[in-house]
Structure 1
């Protein structure tokens, strides 16, 4: 089975779009690989950042609950 031939939007090189290819479907593996490694290091947070994110999420949940379930009089 042959794979579809795509053209990379970054470097304009042709490549075969194979299943389980990391990155975007419109970029070749060479152009997709730096972004995949950047996403891995993005998840590290210290305790203060986790606490502030948790508080912000709680405030968002409360606001959504109030908007969805308030009674219109």
Structure 2
């Protein structure tokens, strides 16, 4: 992750990002790809979907973001 030289903060750190409930570090916004199966006719059809999540870089904790 790139650092902004003028402030020393992460460039992609989001304003209003929550603190991690496990370790207290600031979380960042990312996407988690999850496979779901839709029933189409007699057989399931696999679909990969992106879900927005908050992720902690220190402990890898994830929690869903409200869209």
More helix by share: 1
Q: Considering only CA atoms, is the larger Rg found in Structure 1 or Structure 2?
A: 1
RCO comparison, higher one (Cα < 8 Å, 6+): 2
TM-score range, shorter chain: under 0.3
TM-score, length of structure 2 as denominator length: 0.27
